[in-house]
Structure 1
Amino acid sequence: MFFTGRRAPPQAKFQKLTAEDLHPQSAEIEGHWDFGDGRKRTTDKAFLDPESEALKWVNVMLGNDGPEPDLSGGMIPAVAPPFGMTRWTPQTRQNFVSMCPYNQTDTKLHGFLGTHQPAIWMGESGPSQISAGLGAVVTDFDKRGLPFQRSTEYASANYYTNVLDAGVGDIFAEMTATSRVGHLRFTFESDAAPHIVVQASRESIVINQENTPFRKTDNVTFPDGEITIDRKRREVFGWNDERQDRILVGDDLPAKSFKGYFVARFSEPFEDVGISRYGELEPGVTTGTGKVLAGYVTFSSKKVEVRVGVSFISIEQARRNINLEIPDGQTLETTSRQTRSAWSDKLDRLTVSGATPQNRTVLFSSFAHTLVYPYEISEDTSYYSGYVDEVVKGTSYSGYSIWDTFRAETAWLLFLAPERVGGMISSMLQDYQQGGWLPMWKNLVETNIMVGTHSDVIIAQAMQAGVRDFDWREAWEAVKKDAYQPPDRDTELRFEDREEHTPQEVRAGLTEYMELGYVADDLHSESGSRTLDYAYDDWAASIVARHVGHHEDAEKLLERSKSYHNIWNAETGFMEAKRSDGTWAGEKAGWTEGDHWAYSLTVMHDVPGLIGLMGGNKSFVQFLDRHFDGGHNLHTNEPSHHIPYLYMYAGAPHKTQERVLHVGQNDYNHTALGLSGNEDCGQMSAWYLFSALGFYPVDPASATYVIGTPFFDNITLQLPGASRPLSIHAKGASDRSKYIKSVTIDGKQHDSIFITHEQIKNGADIVFEMDATPQVWGF
């Protein structure tokens, strides 16, 4: 999602690589780094855990190469436990909307960042920055960048290290983290005096209308900050109020008093101290407020540890987070092991055979990508709510990229993190209580990005899957509001993409949707996509209504879910947006991050009805063939993700099997260029994981899965709380026997192309009989 427009497709063909080495930035190393002149720095391998087979295959650099923003995948080598509030990353550039803080093409490290940027398309909120240097103190971001070599860099999900060339000596930097605390250690290889800089507030980079970054010379309002240096406590603490999405939600909307608080607690006493403003030093000064503000401390010691607690509540809470998560006396090695254990607890639940080393890297890196969002923002028993602009009791999450993740990511969490799902939905309901609506794209508060109220889908799916630990009645109340109440000023505003200073968007155009049966292109932006999304959300809402006993509403919404019929243009054979007078708006009008090809196939809840509109199975298959053979299936973006599975509905299972395997082979690989499109908070990876298992949630609201073709001979998932494993057996799949001859579930013949969540949520034994030639199974 560009700041002023939707994502463009990549301008370069995705490169399928066959390199033999797995992932050089995450390869298991020998426990030493060469400083270039014969000296070596050794480590006790605290980051290595011989009990974790899975984590060694995770390449945290996967999806972090190529030019921003479209070709890199939008990933960073972050250190944090699953769903961590703050991810700590080495920083090679300033991050902003459409820019990550680290990129493989950079050669200098400017420090380490505690980031709350939930995706490349979203802005930063209350970050923490820390850097180290030797000799003369330099606080300016650009000037403090230190060269490094890729050969001295190691990156994993729980530990990062690098050797930085400070000119007068080397700095051996190490980093690990818990959810709310970064833990860093700097070893200074020089006679020059070491120093550490703690950045309180920084230049706020945003995007202008030409999609290029601009800074203070363009009269951008900078974040404010405050910093205090406390010699007695050996702490540097303060706050900043940076929120790069202010330009989206507007200063007149919630979270006016938001601040990102930090406390940096050091292991060694300070020698000299001072602050800086815009890079100009003020020696001896220990407090300050303002913009582009930093504090610095120098040391006589050659080894310094620092724990940086962060909070959205207060400085005292940031200090408390340190005491709770990394108390005084805890070693960096212990912190690293704890975080590695948190990852291992999830990742080690998956085992695979018949996979190459490269396959394993894609598989386990994908698994790790799905365990990041939504991220927790509650601290202890409370959290800062941007909707009411105060601290409240409860458990809360942020980073809800729901337009992307409702398709497969949330279904994956039902399997592998079911203990989180009820809390995540309860967090959404708290947002409804405090802000009036369920979230669409929540980044602390609603940002009005993307279209549709797909929270309805997440709730329907959870109910279908039997998740009980959230308030079902209140959930229906919130979903019903989405379905029946238009947003404020619905008849006045078009709700353009990222239009500033608008009320919460929810189902913009719902007024005419309920009157005309479609969203009118002359009245609202992205009208074709909105119509189709609202029809699907109506389907989800009808499921929720049925589960809570509101059968009349369920029937009404079920009937309304057929509104997709209203924008089918039988003359052109495509879905097409309509104007309020009933005339067609043209095939290129009204789409969200897709085109008329993708959206003509976006009727996920009623594929048989869509097949009927297209003239039957034969015509439908021909349309799908034209879609794929014409290069219209852009797996780089989510509207195409379900499309390979649609052949199954029309009696051409072999074509689903061919298309799915082709996407898995060509849009994913094991390197830093391993994603053909942006990760989008786990959705790209969730597609791969489900497809590798052999099925995919085409209609996620129903909690059912459509069979495709398994990628590997055997995959086993130890599902949390399940009585037995979910085991997938597909002998020959790794030898490219991609066609399914028969399926059994727990020894019983299975002839349906669908698998329900109920059938497998407590574990199951699924056997695919595979063949190298197309089969009749699934017709």
Structure 2
Amino acid sequence: MRNGRPPIPLAWAFVVAMALVAAFAPPSSAVADRTDTGRSNVDLVNPFIGTSGESDTEYGGMIPSTAPPFAMTRWSPMTRQNYVSHTPYHYSDTKISGFIGTHQPAIWMGDSGYVTGMPGVGSVKTSVDDRALPFSHADEHAAPDRYSVLLQAGSGRTLKAELTGTSRVGMLRTTYPEGTDTNFVLQATRSGITGNVHVDPAAREITGYNPDRQDSNLGPFKASHFKGYFVARFDTAFDSYGTATGAALHEGQDDRTDGDLSAYVRFPSGTRTVQVRIATSFISLPQARANLAAEAPDDRPFEQIAGKTRAQWNEKLNRVNLRGATADQRAIFYTSMYHALQYPSENSEHGRYYSAYDDQVHSGVSYTGYSLWDTYRAENAFLTLFAPERINGMVTSMLHDYREGGWLPMWKNLTETNIMVGTNADSVIAEDIAKGFTGFDRKLAYEAVHKDATSPPDKDTELAYYDRQEGTPVEARAGLTTYKQNGWVAADHTAESASRTLDYAYEDWAVAQVAKAVGKTDDAKMFLRRSANYKKLYNPATGFMQARNLDGSWAGDESGWTEGDKWVYTLDVLHDVPGLIDLMGGKKKFASWLDSYFAGGHNNHTNEPSHHAAYLYDDAGQPWKTQAKVREIAAANYANRTDGLSGNEDCGQMSAWYVLSSLGIYPVNPASAKYAVGSPFFDRAEVQLPAAERPLVITAKGAAKNPYIKSLSLNGRSVNQPVLSHTDLLKGGKLRFTMSDTRQSWGS
């Protein structure tokens, strides 16, 4: 995230208290389990969760997109122009100006090579404001596999639009009102961006490209040949056509290269239903046509395309079945899975991919949308459990980035953006190795993480590497020069120095694990020693972590942080919680400190550095507090409403936290391949993990009213500590929680 959130108001404590009451309330008697209703879990997803909030930026930042899991292009109604800090749909808007094929991974990132189509009646209107039509949410339906809406076209006329998509192709079916002139506008570029459109009446196609990459000002890789190509093929002949710049029509023109560019077509009199398939590609127009032929050929009807996308979501969402969950909890849970299974997104196209690092086309697999500062915490752990078939390709993709750009990605939006801090790909690779994934080049992976940990970025002693600073090389571990010299990043030389120091210490631990895996034992020992550098930021006089200057003096206690403060970052020692506890005076004092942290409103779940904090009571010998706090946080930050995400989704991290926490687990140190035990939310969750030997059946009878754990067993074996391994979960079987309404000593 990069959002400059305001502090949480004191009134939030009252909200949390009320939410806690709701969290422990019994499930509604009017709600039946899925096994009773027989409904697919896909039907329980509410794609409108996270589409609104108290401000235009401080909310989930999600859109009601339709596409398969990990789709390259997501298709969404467009109620506003999207750009950095604005997604194309917001629930508060009242008009739709198009249906967009978007590649925007998150609200704080920009789109790349997008394309927008919009049906219309009467005279052709090509400008965004002119072509927009009113709609009512009562006439709107969204699901992972399709979207539909009734648009009011004036004079009592209603236009029905239905949308579905494959990974690289969107399909829009429009039912026009009877007795009207019908048309369709396809917008390639916006003002200031020069693109191309070409109309081919014989082929019933509009083709072209959009070179806009809204984050092109960030990072050193300018990708000068980047284009988002599209082929829009209609099932209805054109009566007439033209191109447009803004609102100006160029009637009869079949080709134009310009800014603020669109093409339009009119259909013969009496036309009622028109279908258009819009294929996308980052490689070329021929590749877009190949994507169209492979994913949505002309003889494949709308319902079949939507059905295949639905089947792909069924395969994932029906792997978890819940009992003892309210209707709202089901919606939150399955929508969270729907969100988390969108990231990272496919960047390769049937065996080839365009690399914005070297501006070339390569063979192989590629993904983008790597918000690693966010997603290394729980999103990657979620993927190792629910999409293990993707993991080797995702790591291989990062290694391609390393080969083509010289570094592993930090925040990749087609190419490096240098947003956030730390080389958190180190953690992801270490976690995947620890969990037994072998389908990528481990030696190359170690070469890459070793470079992260040992090679300062260019101009490391000259640049401060501020947030979104332009004209910088790849940031990697900015400040690594002073970190290697003293054991901390110097606050008077590098921005966000204290957060970087703590991140680098954790990442050193992760690199040590990769070193062990490839037989580099001496390197592993060295990086393990360096992973203790977090201790050098602890100021015993204040009891907090604190930034330090190059000469060792303490910097201001509020300086040096990344989207957090001294309270949040004092807990940012994921790899050595026992060492942190000793540093802070032992378990009793640490638990008391945590009490003050939560009581003072310092836990900000809208941002990722707080996500593990509630689970630290496990290590402090008071796991019952973890169990209560996790329920409290879930109730306060997730809801089955359009404003149901308290913070930006951040490429699946917010939702991954909810899914894993609701099942009773969370990866405090993800690279350890272990999970802290929290408190399961439901009576029963049957989980069919793709890589598991058998289903994992998690039972916690009476969980809704009983947050505390009295005992825990796995396949009849007592579990007496609040920790489970990835291997434990993959064995499947019965994970049985005995719950209580009063605090228990289990796990302490």
**Which TM-score bucket, shorter chain as reference?**
over 0.9
- The number of residues matched between the two structures is 729
Superposition pairs for residues 206-285 of structure 1, below 5 Å?
A: 222-249=192-219, 253-285=221-253
- Does structure 2 conserve the Cα–Cα contact (< 8 Å) formed by 1:70 and 1:677? no
- Does structure 1 conserve the Cα–Cα contact (< 8 Å) formed by 2:243 and 2:250? yes
Aligned to 2:34: none
Aligned to 1:179: 167
Q: Please tell me whether residue 132 in structure 1 is matched to residue 119 in structure 2.
A: yes
Deviation at 1:190, TM superposition (A): 3.6
Aligned to 2:41: 54
Superposition pairs for residues 64-143 of structure 1, below 5 Å?
A: 64-143=51-130
Paired amino acid for 2:185: V
The answer for unaligned runs of 5 or more in structure 1 is 28-49, 204-221
Q: Which deviates more, 68-77 or 515-524? A: 68-77
Deviation at 1:687, TM superposition (A): 0.7
Paired amino acid for 1:353: R
- Secondary structure of 2:249's match? strand
Structure-2 separation of matches of 1:202 and 1:757? 48
- Does structure 2 conserve the Cα–Cα contact (< 8 Å) formed by 1:52 and 1:348? no
Structure-2 separation of matches of 1:687 and 1:249? 30
Deviation at 1:278, TM superposition (A): 2.0
Structure-1 separation of matches of 2:365 and 2:652? 22
- Secondary structure of 1:196's match? strand
- Does structure 2 conserve the Cα–Cα contact (< 8 Å) formed by 1:52 and 1:344? no
Distance 1:147 1:10, change over 3 A: farther
Aligned to 1:209: none
Superposition pairs for residues 718-737 of structure 1, below 5 Å?
A: 718-734=688-704, 736-737=705-706
Aligned to 1:331: 301
Structure-1 separation of matches of 2:217 and 2:407? 21
Superposition pairs for residues 464-503 of structure 1, below 5 Å?
A: 464-503=434-473
Paired amino acid for 2:739: M
- Secondary structure of 2:217's match? helix
Aligned to 1:317: 287
Q: Please tell me whether residue 542 in structure 1 is matched to residue 529 in structure 2.
A: no
Distance 1:610 1:384, change over 3 A: same
Q: Which deviates more, 721-730 or 259-268? A: 721-730
Of 341, 349, 352, the residue aligned with 1:382 is 352
- Does structure 2 conserve the Cα–Cα contact (< 8 Å) formed by 1:68 and 1:98? no
Aligned to 2:180: 192
- Secondary structure of 1:309's match? strand
Aligned to 1:700: 670
Of 549, 555, 560, the residue aligned with 2:530 is 560
Paired amino acid for 2:671: A
Q: Which deviates more, 756-765 or 513-522? A: 756-765
- Does structure 2 conserve the Cα–Cα contact (< 8 Å) formed by 1:725 and 1:764? yes
Structure-2 separation of matches of 1:9 and 1:258? 40
Say what the alpha-carbon RMSD is for the aligned residues.
1.7
- Secondary structure of 2:588's match? helix
Structure-1 separation of matches of 2:54 and 2:264? 33
Q: Please tell me whether residue 170 in structure 1 is matched to residue 169 in structure 2.
A: no
Deviation at 1:9, TM superposition (A): 5.1
Deviation at 1:7, TM superposition (A): 4.2
Q: Please tell me whether residue 304 in structure 1 is matched to residue 291 in structure 2.
A: no
Distance 1:338 1:461, change over 3 A: same
Aligned to 2:255: 287
Aligned to 1:30: none
Structure-1 separation of matches of 2:473 and 2:642? 39
Structure-2 separation of matches of 1:363 and 1:380? 32
Deviation at 1:65, TM superposition (A): 1.2
Q: Please tell me whether residue 586 in structure 1 is matched to residue 556 in structure 2.
A: yes
- Does structure 2 conserve the Cα–Cα contact (< 8 Å) formed by 1:66 and 1:105? no
- Secondary structure of 1:615's match? coil
Aligned to 2:724: 755
Aligned to 2:399: 429
Deviation at 1:617, TM superposition (A): 1.0
Q: Deviations over 1:223-249 (max 9, x none)?
A: 210000000000000001000001223
Structure-2 separation of matches of 1:225 and 1:749? 64
Aligned to 1:577: 547
Structure-1 separation of matches of 2:102 and 2:731? 36
- Does structure 1 conserve the Cα–Cα contact (< 8 Å) formed by 2:5 and 2:58? no
Structure-1 separation of matches of 2:172 and 2:55? 28
Of 605, 613, 624, the residue aligned with 1:643 is 613
Deviation at 1:52, TM superposition (A): 5.3
- Does structure 1 conserve the Cα–Cα contact (< 8 Å) formed by 2:279 and 2:291? yes
- Does structure 1 conserve the Cα–Cα contact (< 8 Å) formed by 2:691 and 2:730? no
- Does structure 2 conserve the Cα–Cα contact (< 8 Å) formed by 1:9 and 1:636? no
- Secondary structure of 1:189's match? coil
Structure-1 separation of matches of 2:610 and 2:526? 29
Aligned to 1:774: 743
Aligned to 1:157: 144
Distance 1:259 1:106, change over 3 A: same
Structure-1 separation of matches of 2:497 and 2:451? 20
Structure-2 separation of matches of 1:8 and 1:509? 27
Q: Please tell me whether residue 664 in structure 1 is matched to residue 634 in structure 2.
A: yes
Deviation at 1:732, TM superposition (A): 1.6
Deviation at 1:106, TM superposition (A): 0.4
- Does structure 2 conserve the Cα–Cα contact (< 8 Å) formed by 1:226 and 1:240? yes
- Does structure 2 conserve the Cα–Cα contact (< 8 Å) formed by 1:449 and 1:497? yes
Deviation at 1:71, TM superposition (A): 3.3
- Does structure 2 conserve the Cα–Cα contact (< 8 Å) formed by 1:68 and 1:99? no
Paired amino acid for 1:281: L
Paired amino acid for 2:232: A
Deviation at 1:667, TM superposition (A): 1.0
Structure-2 separation of matches of 1:375 and 1:9? 32
Paired amino acid for 2:717: K
- Secondary structure of 2:196's match? strand
- Does structure 2 conserve the Cα–Cα contact (< 8 Å) formed by 1:519 and 1:531? yes
Deviation at 1:63, TM superposition (A): 0.6
Q: Please tell me whether residue 521 in structure 1 is matched to residue 491 in structure 2.
A: yes
Q: Please tell me whether residue 740 in structure 1 is matched to residue 728 in structure 2.
A: no
- Does structure 1 conserve the Cα–Cα contact (< 8 Å) formed by 2:199 and 2:255? yes
Deviation at 1:67, TM superposition (A): 4.5
- Secondary structure of 1:383's match? strand
Aligned to 1:533: 503
Deviation at 1:10, TM superposition (A): 6.6
Structure-2 separation of matches of 1:128 and 1:717? 38
Structure-1 separation of matches of 2:227 and 2:57? 30
Q: Please tell me whether residue 342 in structure 1 is matched to residue 283 in structure 2.
A: no
Structure-1 separation of matches of 2:82 and 2:547? 36
Deviation at 1:51, TM superposition (A): 7.1
Distance 1:419 1:9, change over 3 A: farther
Paired amino acid for 1:312: F
